[in-house]
Structure 1
Amino acid sequence: MVRLLIIADDFTGALDTGVQFATRGATTRVVTNADYDFKQADAEVLVMVAESRHLPPAEAYSMVYRAARNAREAGIPYVYKKTDSALRGNIGSELAAVMDAAEMTAMPFLPAFPKMKRVTRNGVHYVDGVPVAESVFGKDPFEPVTASALTEIIGSQTEKPVVCHRLDSPVAPELPGIQVYDAETDGDLARIGSALGPGGLHISAGCAGFATALADILGLRGPTPRMPLLPRALFVACGSVNPVTLRQMQTAEEAGFVHIHLNPVQKLEPSWLESRDCESKIKSWLEQAAGCRRCILDVNDPEGRNDTAEYAAEHGLTTEDLRVRISTQLAHLMKRLLDSGLDATILCTGGDTLLALMRTVGVTELTPVRELATGAVLTNFVYQGKTYHIISKSGGFGEPALFCGLAALVGAGNQRRIYYADQIQFENAPRCFQR
């Protein structure tokens, strides 16, 4: 029986939260069907991808309300509303939806993710030491964060009271409204969660940061999952435009990765998929992936070029058109590569890209295995009877050498793998992989 439902607003967030429970041995499934029948689930933890980040607030409210209400009617005792760690999307309307569906007047919200340098101090959210609206997320081309104070962010979408608790304040689960808790370390999150206890966490909210504490508090544990044998090649499908990911690709290219930039026609025109040129490119990319074993298929323009923006202006495409078309086109190209025999561990950056790929190959359920680095989640899915291994990563997560470390992990790099019981270590590994 499902003990915990996690409702995530995007795909990579669903995985990096769900894996906190899977790593501890709790049976965990990630589903993309918003009308999933909870009674058929064979998992303790079910993660639902609501994909509500880009919806209008009222639509996001309705989707989350329906999921939370169905969970209540199915007898699921705990619901966790997973939010973006940079507070993009419909934060206020989605928290209100869970409260209304549960018919509860109070809900704890712990948005901090200390491991990723995202903390909440005096009711203000910080990323890498600066208020979130002044960070790279304030310049997000699709969902820019325009405020840094939680009261302002939440209050723009709901009339429910917002109460901010500083670190030196007592935990007060009985106060009405959305209870925002400051936190700057994992210890802060664990302490607040313990003070709330299982009885104060029937509904709660936060990102992957608090999920770790929640798993311990609710006692969701089991045998540690084993690391599967991965294909010794890394193929990156990059649908993210975040500067963090751009830096990771630059570092990877300098380390010898093949870096393929899709031109505007290749990433925006569905008709190109049926062309002889596409057929030729698929063959060429497969050969490059097999030869180098470290390959990036990238939707970003080469540095210093604005080809996509110019193409969009010439053809009257909006920012939303670009977001949808690019993720869909990249998904179809990845399907063509898989159908043509791509033998690699796949690294997918960006929630839109991952969801589009799963929809294109007709996969509605995934199994998170373990976290390879903070925010980089290894997941299995079955397509046409074959199990594939995919690593998901949010665009704004990770150190510059992350792609290089993942390549080393799967055996596509120059570093020698050293096995230690249930974990993998590397000689001369990037810092994000040193244990």
Structure 2
Amino acid sequence: MKNKKMIAVIADDITGAAELAGIGLNYQLKTEVNTVVADATDADLLIINADTRSLTAEEAKQVTRQIAVQVAKLKPQLVYKKIDSVLRGHILAEIEAQLEAAGNMQRALIIPGNPSHRKTVVDGIYYYQDAPVHQSSFAHDPAFPISASHVHHLLRADESVQVLAQKASLPKKGIFVGDVTGQDDLAHWVDQLDENTLVAGAAELFDQLLQKTTGKQTQTDTKPVTLQWPRLYVFGSTFYQNRLEIIDGRLNNIPLTYLPAQALTAPDNYQPDDYVNHVSALLKNEGSAIISISTEGINVKIDPVQLAQNMGNIVNKVTAQAHPAELVIEGGATAAAILMQMGITRLYPEQQLAPGVIRMRVPGNNQLYITVKPGSYVWPAPVWA
């Protein structure tokens, strides 16, 4: 018998998992973000961060299949596949794994994009801010650089994956990608779903799905949020680097320090102790610090997985030494590496500071909060107040 209460999500990175958790809070759902599937949970919304985007396609498929089998044992009323809104990652491999684990599902529907962020799909072409996505900053993504804008290219798919026009009916069997330009399109695709359909999409589709499933109206938390001190900010993405207004080595009057070049170019030999001591001293003396990365002047290829692991190791050491009350993290791979190094497998979302920017409590540690956001989203004002 299905759990008529619980909705399960399998996400491919932690920032996507947190983003959906924020939406769950808006629907007054008891929400958990986990990296493992527990034997039992009383959550209304259980979100599992599979952290598969940094894996190979075959590894991602194996991990997703294992999690899907474990989630199925909890008998949720539905399972949502959270994907990157710009179709980065191993989406088809993971969808195939979930279909295999489910056994009885005959079709999957992929709805990429977030129309309110001007991420849309028309005739199978993905647009970002009204231009084909390969003309945007996403062309320079370190792990999944985008060189063409048709969804077949983005998914690395052949013609067996069919593109469906707006307002089209959903065929009974196969894997499909739906065009989407606005909220009406999202609502249309949600209306096409049934228990034999695996649905994969980003945040705005999930919002539409919760609206229909719960029958509730969203209630955004309007209480002012002030982060505690000391605060450690970790920027693991370069998406907005050239737009930051850094004055005398400070951003918003917070000291900014770049990861040493050796951590990027010779990660196997890098010893972080001096840098850890430097950042810890900033936290103790000034109450906040920013760790960031800069590739200026570096001409060697940087391994994004190794970079995230190094960042996780450094933050873990700084946290143990300086005990920040708030970790504010940009970038999914960076956040996942930090959580792994710190041994954190479960988070309880408490506040949505802005869409996609979620502050979460660490179970068993009332002294630490973790806030995460995707690299392509802008930090909201409460993060700096």
TM-score bin, normalised by smaller chain? 0.7 to 0.9
Q: Does 1:319 align with 2:302?
A: yes
Question: Number of residues paired by the alignment?
Answer: 376
Residues 338 and 73 (structure 1), Cα distance of their counterparts in 2 relative to 1, 3 Å cut: closer
Tell me the distance in 2 between the aligned counterparts of 1:260 and 1:185: 40
Residue 52 of structure 2 aligns with an amino acid whose one-letter code is: S
> After superposition, what is the alpha-carbon deviation per residue over 1:238-286, rounded to whole angstroms, capped at 9, x for unaligned?
11122x254246499464332211212356367623x4x3464144322
SS of equivalent residue, structure 1 residue 218? helix
2:88 alignment partner in structure 1: 88
What is the deviation of 1:6?
A: 0.9
Q: 1:406 aligns with which of 372, 382, 385?
A: 382
2:343 alignment partner in structure 1: 362
Aligned 8 A contact 1:236 1:348 in 2? yes
SS of equivalent residue, structure 1 residue 164? strand
1:179 alignment partner in structure 2: 176
Aligned 8 A contact 1:21 1:220 in 2? no
Residues 370 and 279 (structure 1), Cα distance of their counterparts in 2 relative to 1, 3 Å cut: closer
State how 1:368-383 maps to structure 2 within 5 Å.
Answer: 368-382=349-363
Q: 2:374 aligns with which of 386, 391, 394?
A: 394
Residues 256 and 224 (structure 1), Cα distance of their counterparts in 2 relative to 1, 3 Å cut: closer
Q: 2:192 aligns with which of 178, 191, 196?
A: 196
SS of equivalent residue, structure 2 residue 64? helix
Aligned 8 A contact 2:34 2:47 in 1? yes
Tell me the distance in 2 between the aligned counterparts of 1:280 and 1:106: 53
1:284 alignment partner in structure 2: 281
SS of equivalent residue, structure 1 residue 77? strand
Aligned 8 A contact 1:108 1:201 in 2? no
> After superposition, what is the alpha-carbon deviation per residue over 1:343-368, rounded to whole angstroms, capped at 9, x for unaligned?
44322011111111111111100112
State how 1:252-263 maps to structure 2 within 5 Å.
Answer: 253=250, 255-263=252-260
2:6 alignment partner in structure 1: 3
2:99 alignment partner in structure 1: 99
State how 1:81-230 maps to structure 2 within 5 Å.
Answer: 81-103=81-103, 104-154=105-155, 156-157=156-157, 161-167=160-166, 169-170=167-168, 172-193=169-190, 195-196=191-192, 199=194, 203-219=198-214, 230=227
Tell me the distance in 1 between the aligned counterparts of 2:68 and 2:245: 38
Q: Does 1:26 align with 2:29?
A: yes
Residue 173 of structure 1 aligns with an amino acid whose one-letter code is: L
Q: Which runs of 4+ in 1 moved over 6 A?
A: 222-228
2:61 alignment partner in structure 1: 61
Residue 389 of structure 1 aligns with an amino acid whose one-letter code is: Y
Aligned 8 A contact 1:239 1:327 in 2? yes
Tell me the distance in 2 between the aligned counterparts of 1:92 and 1:158: 11
Q: Does 1:239 align with 2:220?
A: no
Q: Does 1:51 align with 2:51?
A: yes
> After superposition, what is the alpha-carbon deviation per residue over 1:344-403, rounded to whole angstroms, capped at 9, x for unaligned?
4322011111111111111100112232122222222146x33422221111122xxx36
> After superposition, what is the alpha-carbon deviation per residue over 1:324-355, rounded to whole angstroms, capped at 9, x for unaligned?
33222222332233223444432201111111
Residues 27 and 280 (structure 1), Cα distance of their counterparts in 2 relative to 1, 3 Å cut: closer
Q: Which moved more, 1:245-254 or 1:6-15?
A: 245-254
Tell me the distance in 2 between the aligned counterparts of 1:181 and 1:328: 36
Q: Identity over aligned residues, as a percent?
A: 23
Tell me the distance in 2 between the aligned counterparts of 1:232 and 1:357: 19
Q: Say what the alpha-carbon RMSD is for the aligned residues.
A: 2.9
Residues 137 and 355 (structure 1), Cα distance of their counterparts in 2 relative to 1, 3 Å cut: same
SS of equivalent residue, structure 1 residue 235? strand
> After superposition, what is the alpha-carbon deviation per residue over 1:82-138, rounded to whole angstroms, capped at 9, x for unaligned?
111111111221222222322322122211212222111111111222222232112
2:297 alignment partner in structure 1: 306
Aligned 8 A contact 1:138 1:146 in 2? yes
Output the TM-score relative to the length of structure 1. Answer: 0.77
Aligned 8 A contact 1:24 1:220 in 2? no
Aligned 8 A contact 2:262 2:270 in 1? no
Residue 59 of structure 2 aligns with an amino acid whose one-letter code is: E
What is the deviation of 1:220?
A: 7.4
Residues 26 and 279 (structure 1), Cα distance of their counterparts in 2 relative to 1, 3 Å cut: closer
Aligned 8 A contact 1:54 1:143 in 2? no
1:420 alignment partner in structure 2: none
